[in-house]
Amino acid sequence: MRCLEYERLEAEVDKSLKKLGELTTLQLEIFRSRNSDSFMRMDKDLELAVGEKERTIGCALRQHAKEHKCKPTMDPKFVDAK
């Protein structure tokens, strides 16, 4: 059975993880440019994005799964074939 709330939360996780990837890539570019001021500002942005991701996964998604017995559908490419 499809759960629309779980799908919404799943989309939030996807969005958060993509943002983390983008910020991490940008921070690496700034680090390589040796711009320490920009690097430290980006570090704060990255810290906030990690916190946002943790709240989404750590709280909302797990709580919803617990309350509604929702389970994610696993993408076959990520399932261990052992």
Structure tokens at 39: 């690097």
Selection from 49, 26, 22 nearest residue 38 by Cα: 26
Selection from 56, 59, 75, 55 nearest residue 67 by Cα: 59
Question: What's the rounded mean pLDDT across residues 70-78?
Answer: 59
pLDDT at 22: 92
pLDDT at 77: 59
pLDDT at 72: 59
Examine the pLDDT at 25 and tell me if it is beyond 90. yes
In terms of pLDDT, which residue wins out, 59 or 38?
A: 38
Domain ranges of the chain: 4-69
Examine the pLDDT at 82 and tell me if it is beyond 50. no
Question: What's the rounded mean pLDDT across residues 63-68?
Answer: 77
Cα dihedral 28→29→35→40 (10° resolution): -40
